Structure 1
Amino acid sequence: MILILAYAGCRPHLRYRGVGSSAVTLPVLDAAPTLVARTTRIDDPGDLTRLLPADAAPHDLLCWIRRGEGVVGWGRAATLTATGPDRFAEASAWWQGVAAHAVVRRELDLPGTGLVAFGTFAFSRRSGQSSTLVVPSTIVGRRDGTAWVTQIAGSARLPRTVSLPAPAEAASPGEVAMRDGSLSRAEWVAAVGRSVELIRAGELDKVVMARDVHAVGADPIDPRYLLGRLASAYDNTWTFSVDGMLGATPELLVRREKGLVTSRILAGTIRRTGDDEHDLALAAGLARSSKDLEEHEYAVRSVAEALRPHCSSMNVPESPFVLHLPNVMHLATDVAGVAGDEATSLELAAALHPSAAVCGTPTMRAAQVIEDLEHMDRGRYAGPVGWLDTDGDGEWGIALRSGMLDAENPCGIRLFAGCGIVAGSEPEAELAESDAKLLPMRSALGAV
């Protein structure tokens, strides 16, 4: 990366050029708040989702958990919002400034300790929804049996460690009503059919078509209720919450940790039946499906090509494995590499987005088909979501199996699901697959 102190008029600005982006000029005063963080070891706090305070605003509850480990947070010590094609570069430049000015004291040197920002980014550069990085005032984490709390403030003194809130139960939203989103079921099937026609005509190889559904509870939707249920039922996914975007994603876009870069690619899906013997047969069929293998190959290739310039060496398995989740099974490939430059986890996520797993191939044509046929703004759905620290390490997933809390209606949430479409796709089968992918969020709401 390149950081240049420049002057625009009489006000100092930060000139930034991130990985694969154009130069961005940001005011230094906006780019570099001074934050002070203290991390201390604590006894095991138990279920991290139950520590999220009941009196915090829903959009201020932060979460990144897998198999009981990870980080949760609340409050806001600092926030950055960005929109448009330079959203990643603006966020990266801002975080670079924050990291450079921060005072960090920590008893532990584990991923997620020290100063950490949580982030969620819009899928499209033309999205009307902003992207954001949030530095919470309190973070609680656990890894490898060790737990900690980090307090963050914008003062000259190290914040003192305070007592954690007592674990509290979250209330369900009551009876939940569902309605179609931007397209009805029939309209979405027709849109998928049109995308198949375009693929068969040779205009593109693959496109990912998404749909949205609106859910409204009888009572306000408590993110803690959803997060607790998602983390319990889908513990081998990454349960997340950032600025009102929450879900349980099975897809790790990128992890950067002490020089190692990893990514998990999912493409090719089949719904589980609940009959273990039958599901094993379905898994074997998925592993041999030419349609699903073709879809998967496009996704793996796009990730490998995006990561290769930033890795000194890489391992890309020749064949995928079948990932078993409670509701579906996916073809999956884990790509690993050794970092060959100083790109942060956020910059790597920006370089990878949008992969063929959430957009299509070729990217620009697929993005145009999505805009023409979906008839909706995806917002942060299928965009990067995760966290990073002052060393640039962090984890970023793709915001799948997710929903966005309605900022105007505390009882509402907008749910999303998408399917990879190739020449052999059948629109009605894709609708059934999208229903399966909506199941985690519907189940968490109690709407099944």
Structure 2
Amino acid sequence: MPSLDPAAGAELPGRIRVRSEAVDVTGDLLARIPDEVDPRDVVTWLREGDGMVGWGRAALVRTHGPDRFAQAEAWWDRLRTVAEVEDGVRVAGSGLVAFGSFAFAPGSADRSVLTVPRVLIGRRDGMAWVTRVVVDDEPWPSDHPAQMLARTNPRLGELDPLVETEGTVPAARWPEVVGRAVGRIEAGEVDKVVLARDVRVRHREGHAVRVAPVLERLERRYAATWTFAVDGLLGATPEMLVRLQDGRVRSRVLAGTIRRGAHPQHAAPQVSHEHPVDPRLRLVSSEKDLEEHAYAVRSVAEALAPHCTELQVPATPYVLELPDVYHLATDLTGRRADGATSLSLAAALHPSAAVCGTPTEKAAAVITELEGMDRGRYSGPVGWLDGDGDGDWCIALRCGELAPDRGSMRIFAGGGIVAASDPDAELAETEVKLTAMRHALGLLES
């Protein structure tokens, strides 16, 4: 079993007690997050208004390096042995649950994290619950869950005053970076590489950035995606890396993007100006986007195959519609064939061609050389798992990460580069993808 890094900051209580109780919860779950909590202690997993929100920290582990997933899973296995769980709800997300986010690269200075919140409020398929956690000899909270749920955050709709500045690579220089990547592809070094850029945002008055209002705007505008927050990483991602529930495995691949209402030159077939083509048809007819998507689907199928039977891989993608963009999408499904948990499946899938490239090791080396930044936990797995190992893990896209000072953050966007990529179009694609976080932070008008 992998040993934990002594400097990882693991918190493993001698005893942990977990109690999930059915409750009645209506309205926005995010409204229950107290305004005064540390923004890095907020956890969120929401889609279409349902899911989970929580806060506080009952247990935590930070890991890094090539064994970061295995170290986190070893810690989770040990935590489960000291957990006393009273689960009167018994649905996906009740009982003992940990939330995690993992660094994209093994050499990242940003530690990966798995954390158990003190309070978790969940709602799914018409059923709602509250999970509370105490450690060692702590008493149970004196207030009833109904009392806690009656309190709402009066500042949920109040955004912080923020200002944006250039990131590691200024936008004006991004086409140059993409051009260098295309040159590597044309030289035969890699088939595809995914490059990302960052933008910096800070609080005008130096205060901590409050995450609940940001999450509320993301959840409202991008309800069909997974709105998440784990240890200061927050966003709304459309890409499900892997879901494991009752032995069924599902993964959604997104690669190939077009702006809604845009007319990118590289994607447009020859058509009559009198009969404009639906942008969804332009997307599925784009050689560049179809090539990029095929690489990503193949990498996921190859990673899932050792763990699954009945693996279904559709022959053609469909078009996923989001408020700002269209994506090419493919949903793969299968049945788990071994004892893999959702976290170990996520580890097996990371990094897919959708966030790294092909071949993986060579693409990762090009990323390190050309991006000029540490991605941190951007484009790494983010999600949750329960005591049985089931759970959801997405890819951390359309997101930002709070700095340790809580008063600033970086927001990220990237795109897949293949031989047919146009550098100026790739810059435009990153600007479109930054729209989600810029809107949520109040940097764009609604």
Shift of 1:278: 9.7
| AA matched with 1:240 | F
| AA matched with 2:283 | L
Shift of 1:216: 2.0
- Separation in structure 2 between the aligned mates of residue 25 and residue 417 of structure 1, nearest angstrom: 32
Q: Does 1:325 align with 2:313?
A: no
1:214 to 188, 194, 200: 200
Task: Classify the secondary structure of the residue corresponding to 1:164.
Answer: helix
CA contact (8 A) 1:36 1:156 kept: no
Task: Classify the secondary structure of the residue corresponding to 2:278.
Answer: helix
Aligned-pair identity in percent equals: 51
- Separation in structure 2 between the aligned mates of residue 123 and residue 26 of structure 1, nearest angstrom: 18
CA separation of 1:157/1:341 partners in 2, compared to 1, >3 Å: closer, same or farther? farther
| AA matched with 1:363 | T
Structure 2 residue aligned with 1:164? 148
Unaligned runs of 5+ in 1: 1-15, 17-22
Task: Classify the secondary structure of the residue corresponding to 1:432.
Answer: helix
CA contact (8 A) 1:403 1:413 kept: yes
Shift of 1:217: 3.2
CA contact (8 A) 1:382 1:399 kept: yes
Q: Does 1:374 align with 2:371?
A: yes
1:442 to 435, 438, 443: 438
Structure 1 residue aligned with 2:172? 186
Structure 2 residue aligned with 1:72? 53
Shift of 1:155: 3.0
Structure 1 residue aligned with 2:424? 428
2:76 to 95, 100, 111: 95
- Separation in structure 2 between the aligned mates of residue 215 and residue 26 of structure 1, nearest angstrom: 32
Shift of 1:167: 1.4
CA separation of 1:289/1:123 partners in 2, compared to 1, >3 Å: closer, same or farther? same
CA separation of 1:110/1:136 partners in 2, compared to 1, >3 Å: closer, same or farther? same
Aligned counterparts, 1:40-439, within 5 A: 40-155=21-136, 159=140, 161-162=144-145, 163-165=147-149, 166-168=151-153, 169-170=155-156, 172-219=158-205, 220=207, 221-273=209-261, 281-410=278-407, 412-439=408-435
1:349-369 deviation line (CA, Å, top 9, x unaligned): 000000000000000000000
- Separation in structure 1 between the aligned mates of residue 12 and residue 356 of structure 2, nearest angstrom: 31
Structure 2 residue aligned with 1:20? none
Structure 2 residue aligned with 1:4? none
CA separation of 1:191/1:151 partners in 2, compared to 1, >3 Å: closer, same or farther? same
1:407-439 deviation line (CA, Å, top 9, x unaligned): 2252x2210001000000001000000000000
1:300-348 deviation line (CA, Å, top 9, x unaligned): 0111110110112211111000000000110000111101111110000
CA contact (8 A) 2:258 2:429 kept: yes
Shift of 1:100: 2.3
Shift of 1:123: 0.5
Task: Classify the secondary structure of the residue corresponding to 1:370.
Answer: helix
Shift of 1:101: 2.2
- Separation in structure 1 between the aligned mates of residue 296 and residue 73 of structure 2, nearest angstrom: 25
CA contact (8 A) 2:51 2:124 kept: yes
CA contact (8 A) 1:200 1:423 kept: yes
Shift of 1:80: 0.4
CA contact (8 A) 2:261 2:279 kept: no
Task: Classify the secondary structure of the residue corresponding to 2:129.
Answer: strand
- Separation in structure 1 between the aligned mates of residue 117 and residue 322 of structure 2, nearest angstrom: 31
Unaligned runs of 5+ in 2: 264-273
CA separation of 1:312/1:33 partners in 2, compared to 1, >3 Å: closer, same or farther? farther
- Separation in structure 2 between the aligned mates of residue 278 and residue 52 of structure 1, nearest angstrom: 50
- Separation in structure 1 between the aligned mates of residue 373 and residue 350 of structure 2, nearest angstrom: 19
Shift of 1:156: 5.5
Task: Classify the secondary structure of the residue corresponding to 1:392.
Answer: coil
RMSD of Structure 2 on Structure 1 (CA): 2.0
Shift of 1:170: 2.4
What is the number of equivalent residue pairs in this alignment? 424
- Separation in structure 1 between the aligned mates of residue 14 and residue 254 of structure 2, nearest angstrom: 38
